Amino acid sequence: MKAFKVHKGKVAPLHRANIDTDQIVPKQFLKRIERTGFGEFLFYDWRRDQNGQLDPGFPLNHSRHKGASILVTGKNFGCGSSREHAVWALDDFGFRAVIAPSFADIFANNCVKNGVLTIVLSEAEVAQLVERATKHEDYQLTIDLQDCEVRDEHGFSAGFQVDEFTRHCLLNGLDDIGLTLQHEREITAYEAVHPAPVRLVS
């Protein structure tokens, strides 16, 4: 998993509350067995019209937001089902962080496991970022996980909270497997004196 320390990137605003995981990636696209390739299905029903063409009115389709790696959105983002595909779609599309007033717990946990940072700011701060992303061409934010701060080049600065375990995992690029492999020496030593049982074939 890619480590997250300090990230500077373009911002895409999607100021809607209660965006659920079925809107993030609709259920008909959950048949893939890979974790990649879901980016094209992100917000599919909103990004595309009934003919499957990109809707120019949807924020993520605006040329000014092309290549955005930071999503600013409304409260309770990621509610609904627990599908991890929602995070895979965001990650595959290029988002490294999502900023919102609140997140669904399971979605936020899935983000940590995939190296995507969720940042909780107040509704007033989120509204300010949405306004700036709409007003300024190529609006960018710097997210500093080491100092737990979000800032821009126009005077905005806000601190955010993240629990120390999550911060440790993201700063060091550790998913569940990476955390386990930190104890590889102890695991190897244990297995050396506890060989796997022999299975008898009848």
β-bridge mates for residue 71, sequence order: 12, 98
Sign of the C-alpha dihedral, residues 197, 198, 201, 202?
A: negative
Say whether 192 sits in a helix, a strand or coil.
helix
- Residue 123 is classified by DSSP as H
Query: Please, where are the H alpha helices in 48-96?
Result: 85-93
Taking the C-alpha atoms of residue 126 and residue 55, their distance in angstroms, rounded to an integer, is 24
pTM above 0.75, yes or no: yes
Could you tell me the residue ranges of all domains in the chain? Answer: 6-193
Best CA proximity match to 139, nearest among 15, 4, 16, 8: 8
pLDDT, tens digit only, all 202 positions of the chain:
888 999 999 999 999 999 999 999 999 999 877 889 999 999 999 999 988 899 999 999 999 999 999 999 999 999 998 999 999 999 999 999 999 999 999 999 999 999 999 999 999 999 999 999 998 889 999 999 999 999 999 999 999 999 999 999 999 888 766 665 565 676 666 667 777 776 766 5
Best CA proximity match to 72, nearest among 61, 59, 89, 86: 59
- Please write down the long-range contacts of 37-41, taking CB distance under 8 Å and 24 or more positions apart: 37/92, 38/85, 38/88, 38/89, 38/92, 39/89, 39/91, 39/92, 39/93, 39/94, 41/89
Report the run of H or E that residue 158 belongs to, with start and end: strand 157-159
CATH 3.30.565.10 corresponds to the domain 6-193: no
* Stated length of the chain: 202
